[in-house]
Amino acid sequence: MVKAANPGGTTPGRRRPDRRILVVGGGYVGMYTALRLQRMLKAELGRGEVEILVVTRDPYMTYQPFLPEAAAGNISPRHVVVPLRRELHRCALLIGEATAIDHAKRTATVNTLATEEEGAGPKEIAYDELVLAPGSISRTLPIPGLADHGIGFKAVEEAIGLRNHVIEQMDIASSTRDPAIRDAALTFVFVGGGFAGVEALGELEDMARYAARYYHNIKPADLKWILVEATDRILPEVGEQMGKYAVRELRARNVDVRLETRLESCEDRVAVLSDGSRFPTRTVVWTAGVKPAPLLTATDLPLNGRGRLRCTARLTVEGVEHAWSAGDAAAVPDITADEPGTECAPNAQHALRQTKVLAENIAASLSGRPLREYSHKYAGSVASLGLHKGVAHVYGRKLKGYPAWLMHRMYHLNRMPTFNRKARVLAEWTLAGLFKREIVSLGSLEHPRAEFELAAGGRRTSQGPDGPTGSGDSEDGRGSPKDRPKDGP
C-alpha cells in the first residue's frame, strides 16, 4: 500500500517513503524491533523506500529489571535507560503519546509537546505497517486512598522517587519526638509479591538497613517492612520451592510477609489489611500486577477478555493485515504449552525473544517470504532479594543465596541492551564493591526551582511521590522538613 507524499508526515517538506513502518512504544518490544529492522532493512532505508517511525512517550527505553537496583542506589538511574536517538539512528523518532489508532484507515493520532504548544490539535500519522507495543500499566483496584497515596514501580522516575522518599522518611523519623510520626515514617508497605514488589522491597530494605548505621537514633530493628500478597506464595516465576525459600529469607530479615492477605484501604495514611491489621504509614508501594496499556481500547483492533491484543503465533494481530504486536500488550499463544489457549506471560523473557521473530516476519512480509511462528518454552527466572541475596530457578536448576544473586546480575548484565550500558553498569558494580554504599537522598531534584523561588521571594513548593503538597507542606502536614526547625532527637 503506497500513500501520497508525506500525509500527516513528521518532517515538513520531506518526501513520504514508499512504506512507513510505525512502531508505537519505545520499550523492550518497540526498541528491539526497530533496532533489528534498521539492520535488516538497511538498504531499503538508505534508498528511502522504507521509513521506520517510532512514536514513544520518552526518548529512552527503560530496562525495568534493573529498577530495584536503581532504587537501592547500586546503579545510577541514567544507566538503566537506553537513549533511543543514539541506538535507533536510522529510524525517525517522535516523542509523543499515541491516543488512538484507526487501522482501517491506517492512521494513528499522536499528541506531542509541540502539538500541545501549537494548539493545533493532535497529529494524524499515516502508516503502512503497524507495530503496536505500548506495554502495560499498573493494574490497580478501587481501594480507598490508593489513588492518593499509592506509589507505583514501573518507571525510572518512580524508582528514584521511592529511594528519595524512603531516605526522607528516615530523616523525618530521626528528627521528630512524636512516636506516632516516627512509627508511620518507618513503616513501609509493599503490595504484590511478584518480581517488582519482592525485588523492590528486598533492595530497599537492604539499603535502608545499611543507611540506619549513619543515623544516631535509628536501629535497623526500628524499620518495619510489610509485604502483602493476595495468594499463598510469592515469586511464582521461580517455582513453589524457591518461592517458599524467598519467604523464609525475607522473614529472617524481619520482613513481615503476609500471604493470602489483601490491602483493603490506605485512607488517612493508614494501611488496613484484610486480616484486620492496621499500619499507619506514609509508604504504600503498589506492585500487584499489570494490565494492558489504555491505548489498546482506542483502536479498532481485536482485544481478548483481559484487554490484550489478540495475536497469532506469527505476531500478527488476529484477523487484520499489516498489524503486528508483541510483549505485555499482546496475547500471543504459547504454542509450547500443553494446555491449548495458554498465552505467553507478560515478561521480558518473552518480549525480547518475540522481537526477533517480529522483525524477521515484518521483513519477510515486505519481500513476500513466509512468516514463522514464535515458540519459546519458559526457561524459569532469577530474582534478587537484596545485595548478595537471591533466588533462581532456571532450566530446572534451583539456586539460592549468593550464587543465585550472582546469576541474577550476570543474566541481566547480559540482557541489558548495548555494550555502552553494560560497561557502565559493570563499572558501577565494581566501584560499589570498593566503596561504601550511597545513602544520599536527592529529593530536591524533583522540585529544582524551590531554592530559587525562595530566593526570589516566592513560596517554596514541594512535590514528593505523594504528589504536590503545596507550599512548605510536608507529609506530616507540619511544613517541609527543610523549611521548619528540626524537632531534635
Contact residues for ligand FAD, defined by CB under 6 A: 24-30, 55-58, 64-65, 67, 97-98, 133-135, 153-154, 195-196, 293, 295, 327-329, 346-349, 351
Nearer to ligand FAD, 348 or 385 (CB): 348
- How remote is the C-alpha of 97 from its chain's centroid? 17
The radius of gyration of the chain's CA atoms, rounded to the nearest angstrom, is: 24
What is the nearest approach in angstroms of ligand FAD to the Cβ of residue 390? Answer: 11
What is the nearest approach in angstroms of ligand FAD to the Cβ of residue 64? Answer: 3
Sheet holding 107-112, edge to edge: 123-126, 107-112, 92-102, 50-56, 19-24, 129-132, 323-325
Nearer to ligand FAD, 9 or 134 (CB): 134
What is the nearest approach in angstroms of ligand FAD to the Cβ of residue 298? Answer: 8
**Dist. CA 275–CA 260, nearest whole Å:** 9
Nearer to ligand FAD, 17 or 26 (CB): 26
- The DSSP 8-state label assigned to residue 366 in this structure reads H
**Dist. CA 297–CA 209, nearest whole Å:** 44
* HSE-up (13 A, CA, CB side) for residue 111: 8
CB of 194 closer than 8 Å to CB of 237: yes
End-to-end CA distance of the chain: 72
Mark residue 303 as left, alpha or beta (left: phi above 0; alpha: psi -120 to 50; beta: remaining). beta
Residues 6+ apart with CB under 8 A from 460: 450, 453, 454, 471, 472, 480, 483
Nearer to ligand FAD, 67 or 186 (CB): 67
**Dist. CA 450–CA 435, nearest whole Å:** 32
What is the nearest approach in angstroms of ligand FAD to the Cβ of residue 173? Answer: 26
Nearer to ligand FAD, 185 or 407 (CB): 407
What is the nearest approach in angstroms of ligand FAD to the Cβ of residue 178? Answer: 34
CB of 41 closer than 8 Å to CB of 363: yes
**Dist. CA 173–CA 218, nearest whole Å:** 8
Residue closest to ligand FAD, measured at CB? 27
Nearer to ligand FAD, 29 or 273 (CB): 29
What is the nearest approach in angstroms of ligand FAD to the Cβ of residue 415? Answer: 8
Nearer to ligand FAD, 110 or 255 (CB): 110
What is the nearest approach in angstroms of ligand FAD to the Cβ of residue 56? Answer: 4
Residues 6+ apart with CB under 8 A from 485: none
Nearer to ligand FAD, 361 or 480 (CB): 361
Q: Amino acid letter at 296?
A: L
**Dist. CA 369–CA 115, nearest whole Å:** 39
What is the nearest approach in angstroms of ligand FAD to the Cβ of residue 153? Answer: 5
What is the nearest approach in angstroms of ligand FAD to the Cβ of residue 441? Answer: 20
Nearer to ligand FAD, 99 or 217 (CB): 99
